[in-house]
Chains A and B, each alone.
Chain A
Amino acid sequence: MEREKIRLRFLEIFGLILGLLFLSPFYIILVNSFKTKKEFLLTTLSLPESATLANYTKAIDKMNFVSAFRNSLIITVTSIVLIIVFSSMAAWMLVRTNNKTSKFIFYSFVASMLIPFQSVMLPLVDLFGKNNLNLINTYTGIIFMYMGFGASLSVFLFHGFIKSVPRELEEAAMIDGCNKFQSFWYIVFPLLKPITLTVAILNGMWIWNDFLLPSLVLQRKSLRTIPLSTRYFFGTYQADWTLAMAGLVLAILPIVIFYFFAQKHIIKGAMEGAIK
């Protein structure tokens, strides 16, 4: 037992060192974001002598941080809500009507998961561009695209979960006079809560951080999301490291705050999404 104790103590220390190592890149950008240019040139590793917020005020202004945050939030939240509503409905109908059409539709969702975004991006931009559907530079356009790209995995996850939901409850509701929409929304949907959370987290993580799709379809400055404005900001000020670091801290901050409150759900959601 004594040996076991020593082993655990050793592992504990090893783990903490590893944890600090994992966090060290965050530490280094954080401390440098508070430095003046002069101090940064003298030392990169130490704490700032007198923390200045000048980098932050300038970064918030130059990145259009408030507008970028709002755009990211609107696009991410609306996309998640629409994906959940429509993919849960579709998955339920596909499970309950077990015929050739529904099988075909389900397998077309599954098979499409192998298609990389890069294989569709050029024609996609063309199809939604000025000369065709003209949905570039609109919230509607990008949210619709996220619906399409989020569909496969979300329908797949809901489908797997709904298979284990008993039919009896909804049949009883139908006898009591509910129509299909009512019995889905009042009886089935509340039972899907765990998988709904997983779907929301997986899609949220991806959409919030996505860079390539918005860079192709949101060219107007006022529509930039956080990754987009980070890109332009870093490109312009990359010689000005302390300012750039403040910009990066700002870009990371919303996620870290969200993670702080929802970490249990996030880790669980990511795990369930991967295993199924």
Chain B
Amino acid sequence: MAKKLDNPLRKLKEKFLFLGFVGPIYFAFIMVVIIPFLIGVYYSFTNWSAIPGRAIDFVGVSNYIKAFNDQQFAVSFRATIMYTAICVLLINIVGFGLALLVVQKIRSANLLRTVFFMPNLIGGLILGYVWRFVFIKVFVALYETTGLGIFGLPWLSDANQAIWAMAIVTTWQMAGYIMVIYVAALQGVPKSLLEAAQIDGANILQKTRHITFPLVAPAFTVSMFLTMSNSFKMFDVNLALTKGDPSRMSELLTLEIYNKAFTESNFGEGQAQAVILFFLIGIVSLIQVYFNKKREVEM
């Protein structure tokens, strides 16, 4: 029916229709993502200053060399890797634990799901400020009343501690989201399998280890990917909670790129760092998805 008339007019009409349906969003996508990305890659090889009228000269790979010799870039790189590693571990452990809890036959399961998910709806900037207050004021007050050492730690004034502080806030924010993904996977584990194992005498740990874990592996892949790319790109919590303090030691790559461009007015080098961030995220994500896919069990 559709392909009865194959004349040029009809073909032209179909092309127009295609353009009408796909065009608007593709145009926005090209203008906002693709063109700036390509310009960005080009600018990273120039002495671009973002000052109108000033000539943009090609400078080869010197921005990249500068970036790799930059002390602050090395600090931020290390901070980002450490932050990401802690986040991926903590969020997945807490998220999976919460999921195991809310799939039990307890009366408050639905309520708890709602509560655990809630921080995820609030922006990282606002959460960062909330926790800044908690770390600075509330922990001090708690230390004075309880005397517990954990509240007396220099949470925001020590470099490593500050990275842990950011990871805790991110875990609090994201664990509920990851929980929801694991809940969906856990509900997909067939009851009959667990019952069969029970009859065969498996205890709860054995059941979790040998039946539940392998069957939720796809959810694990998704969650690792999400937590990892989210942590690499984290900006809001960093800005609100530590601002990079103490002395730029907790400054993640995204904030470093931002400062390189807008504080130091060094746009070319900032853009080179942004391109490095792109490759870092791309490579790590692809490797991680590749290895996890290999492990997954076919159902």
Interface residue ranges, A against B (CB under 8 Å): 8, 11-12, 14-16, 18-19, 22-23, 25-26, 28-29, 32, 43-45, 83, 86-87, 89-90, 92-94, 97, 101-102, 105, 108-109, 112, 114-124, 126-127, 130-131, 144-145, 147-149, 151-152, 155, 171, 174-175, 180-181, 184, 205, 208-212, 227, 230-231, 234, 241, 244-245, 248, 251-252, 255-256, 259, 263, 266-267, 270-271, 274-275
Contact = CB atoms under 8 A, between A and B. Distances in A.
Contacts of B183: 271
Given A108-B34, A114-B285, A145-B32, 7 more contacts: A29-B133, A90-B24, A112-B33, A117-B233, A212-B258, A241-B137, A255-B122
Nearest to B271: A122
Contacts of A92: 21
Contacts of B18: 93, 97, 101-102
Interface stretch (B64-72, B124-132, B207-215): B124-132
Interface in B192-250: 219, 222, 226, 229, 232-233, 235-236, 239-240
Interface stretch (B81-89, B154-162, B275-283, B291-299): B275-283
B177 A274 contact: yes
A122 B25 contact: no
Question: B interface, by DSSP: helix, strand, loop or mixed?
Answer: helix
Nearest to B257: A118
25 contacts: A15-B109, A15-B112, A19-B115, A43-B141, A93-B17, A112-B37, A116-B232, A116-B233, A116-B277, A117-B233, A118-B274, A119-B277, A119-B278, A122-B261, A122-B274, A123-B36, A149-B32, A151-B29, A171-B1, A175-B1, A251-B126, A256-B118, A256-B121, A263-B117, A274-B180
A45 B138 CA distance: 7
A45 B129 contact: no
Nearest to A252: B122
Contacts of A227: 123, 125-126, 236
B26 interface: yes
**A-B pairs, 3 with minimum CB distance:** A148-B32, A209-B123, A93-B21
Interface size, B (range): 35 or more
B226 A119 contact: no
